[in-house]
Amino acid sequence: MNRSSGWVHEAFAVFAKDWLLELRTRVALGAVVLFAVTSVVASGFALAPPSGVPAEVKTALLWVVVFFAAVAGLSRVFVVEEETRTADSLRLAVSPTGVFVGKLLFNAVLMWGLCLVTVPLYLLLLEVPVRSASLFVTVVVLGSTALACATTAVGAIVAKATTRGALFGVLSFPVALPPLLVAIHGTKAAWLSGGAWRVATGDLQVLVGFILVIVPASLLVFEHIWSE
């Protein structure tokens, strides 16, 4: 049989396998969607009438919901391989780069799906007037991608630890905080500002920069973490 080489096909094989597993078990989907929808609906009722709530609070609340929903589901992609003793099967067949990129793709798609469900529901329940829809979509896509990168990187680091839950919280705080703060600022610009793109240019640059830095840095350390 002919054989193609390189980590790209490995990453897509891992990505496809993880989605197949997720559709069978619905572990991450269940945790993420349940947390996000419950939080948004609870916020909608708690903050009624929403017109009296400052936009700053609404932007922060949206990203807090997205972040904690991500933490509930995305941290498990590596842990589940260790718990089910399939990690060694992966190590034997797939390069560390292929594993990491495949898992990152899975988490990114899960985050985008989460935002697709959560954000419209949030806008509807909290009556948010978006002045620049194009900027808002850009911030959501970049912000959710940055959070997926951060949680995947931390998830990989803590997968073998015995106190994973506590460690994930401690490590994800400093890693996820910068993109979270920037995404909140960019979202506020999209909702409130007249010259929104000009105001949010710096935020978008930071989000893109964060993604471009954390992915190669994670790949560099992941090989050592994953090997033993």
Binding positions for another protein, rule: CB under 8 A = 1-6, 9-10, 13-14, 16-17, 20-21, 24-25, 84-86, 88-95, 98, 227-228
Segment (H or E) for 186:
helix 164-192
Q: What is the smallest separation between the CB atom of 163 and another protein, expressed in angstroms?
A: 18
122: tokens are: 């949030």
In residues, how long is the chain?
A: 228
Could you tell me which of 135, 79, 103 has the C-alpha nearest to residue 17? 103
Could you tell me which of 85, 109, 93, 107 has the C-alpha nearest to residue 9? 93
Concatenating the DSSP letter of every residue in 56-105 gives: HHHHHHHHHHHHHHHHHHHTHHHHHHHHTT-HHHHHHHS-HHHHHHHHHH
Nearer to another protein, 20 or 217 (CB): 20
Q: What is the smallest separation between the CB atom of 90 and another protein, expressed in angstroms?
A: 8
Asked if 153 and 97 touch (Cβ cutoff 8 Å), the reply is: no
Nearer to another protein, 92 or 129 (CB): 92
Asked if 120 and 29 touch (Cβ cutoff 8 Å), the reply is: no
Q: What is the smallest separation between the CB atom of 66 and another protein, expressed in angstroms?
A: 28
Nearer to another protein, 36 or 90 (CB): 90
Q: What is the smallest separation between the CB atom of 189 and another protein, expressed in angstroms?
A: 43
Nearer to another protein, 4 or 163 (CB): 4
Nearer to another protein, 5 or 162 (CB): 5
Q: What is the smallest separation between the CB atom of 84 and another protein, expressed in angstroms?
A: 6
Give the Cα separation of 196 and 201 in Å (integer): 9
Nearer to another protein, 96 or 179 (CB): 96
Neighbours of 123 (CB within 10 A): 17
* Amino acid, res. 10: E
Q: What is the smallest separation between the CB atom of 216 and another protein, expressed in angstroms?
A: 19
